A and B are shown apart, each in its own frame.
Chain A
Amino acid sequence: MKATVIVTLKPTVLDPQGMTIQRSLGSLGLTDITDVRQGKIFEVRLKNGSREQVERLAKEVLTNPVIEEYRVIWE
């Protein structure tokens, strides 16, 4: 079983890296793109389909709840 954990900064948290990416797009002519927010993806494999362990991993390790939020996609 596979899970994909997507971690992003909360909408209220400034993302200097995303802003820098967005600002650099003008030279490519990608002028319709008004906002870029960056995050992280973790691909997790598990043997028994224990969703609880993946939730704990996402919550307690992969995310800092002060600044980030996560969602899990199951396959």
Chain B
Amino acid sequence: MKFGVVIFPGSNCEQDCYYTIQSVLQQPVEYIWHQDTTVKGFDAVVLPGGFAYGDYLRTGALAKFSPVMRAVADFAKKGGIVIGICNGFQILTEAGMLPGALLRNVGLKYLCKFEYLRTETVDTPFTNLMTKGQLLHIPIGHGEGNFFADSETLKRIEDQDQVVFRYADAHGHVTPEANPNGSLNNIAGIVNDQRNVLGMMPHPDRAYESILGSADGRWIFESMVHALVTR
């Protein structure tokens, strides 16, 4: 089993992801350069947070033209597991690998704080070790995390059980007050219809050891390992 962490010019969370996989999960991991044209030999690909290509034009908009993204799209089409965290989520929506888009936060502020996430489905390679409704305490750090999709797309995402995480309060209630950025239906993370590509704005790579305030991010990475071991 081998994880790959893609580095775009402007990525800044690749070391967090690498460390989480190597030192905490103790799984093999390598960086993948954005100019690479293949992801051959990798079993899971991580698109890390940051500001790929300076987030010029729109967040994630220019990263989708990187040579590596064509390879990542092929990899996903064949069932490969892909997780996009924060800027990685924005890139996946821009590349058309996930539905919807991420708009400016409703309050216009960059938000950097812990949030509670309610797990909405365990039928994914990212949540298979968890229980439905399980609360995760994981931080966000973004200015454009306001999930938007037109009403038809939103209905399809909901009907097909593609919402993986919603912002909730400490008791697990999904309320307008618990929504930090204006995301429709409090959506914090979704999968594609094949269920092998996850995009999420919160950072599990910033919550892998209790010394960081929470180790809940491990649930997601450990579920990915479980999915790869058992498939």
Q: Which residues of A contact B (CB under 8 A)?
A: 12-14, 16-17, 20, 61-62, 64, 66-67
Contact = CB atoms under 8 A, between A and B. Distances in A.
Contacts, number: 37
Contact of B150 (A16, A20, A61, A66): A66
Nearest to A9: B103
B24 interface: no
Q: Rank and list the top 7 A-B pairs by shortest CB-CB distance, nearest first.
A: A66-B101, A67-B101, A16-B104, A16-B106, A16-B108, A64-B101, A64-B58
**Interface residue SS majority, chain B:** loop
Interface in B100-158: 100-101, 103-108, 146, 148-150
Contacts of A64: 58, 61, 94, 101
B108 A14 contact: no
Contacts of B100: 66
Nearest to B181: A16
A63 B65 CA distance: 14
A62 B103 contact: no
Given A16-B104, A16-B105, A17-B108, A66 B57 contact: no
A61 B95 CA distance: 11
Contacts of A12: 150
Given A16-B105, A16-B107, 18 more contacts: A13-B148, A14-B103, A14-B148, A16-B104, A16-B108, A17-B104, A61-B57, A61-B65, A62-B57, A64-B58, A64-B61, A66-B93, A66-B99, A66-B100, A66-B101, A66-B148, A66-B149, A67-B148
Nearest to B59: A64
Contact of A67 (B103, B105, B108): B103
B88 interface: no
Interface residues of B, number: 20
A67 B147 CA distance: 11
Nearest to B153: A66
A48 B123 CA distance: 53
B48 interface: no
18 contacts: A12-B150, A13-B103, A14-B148, A14-B182, A16-B107, A16-B108, A16-B146, A61-B57, A61-B61, A62-B57, A64-B94, A64-B101, A66-B93, A66-B99, A66-B101, A66-B150, A67-B101, A67-B148
Contacts of A67: 101, 103, 148
Contacts of A62: 57
A67 B94 CA distance: 11
B136 to A, nearest CB: 27
Contacts of B149: 66
A62 B56 CA distance: 11
Nearest to B105: A16
Contacts of B93: 66
A1 to B, nearest CB: 23
A27 B182 CA distance: 26
